Amino acid sequence: MKGTRQVFTRMAILSLLCCALLAMSARRSAAQTPTAPQAISTLTVRVTGVRNATGNLCVTLQRDANVIDVRTVEVDAKTLTGQVVFDKLPQGAYSVSVLHDENMNGKLDFDSMGMPVEGYGASNNPEKRMGPPNSEETIFPLKQPQVTTEIKLIYWP
Listing DSSP states for 117-132 in one string gives SS-EEETT-PPP-SSP
Q: What is the pTM of this model?
A: 0.76
Q: What pLDDT, in 10s, does the model give residues 38-61?
A: 899 999 999 999 999 999 999 999
For residues 111 and 105, the answer to whether their CB atoms sit within 8 Å is no
Q: What pLDDT, in 10s, does the model give residues 60-100?
A: 999 988 999 999 999 999 999 999 999 999 999 999 999 99
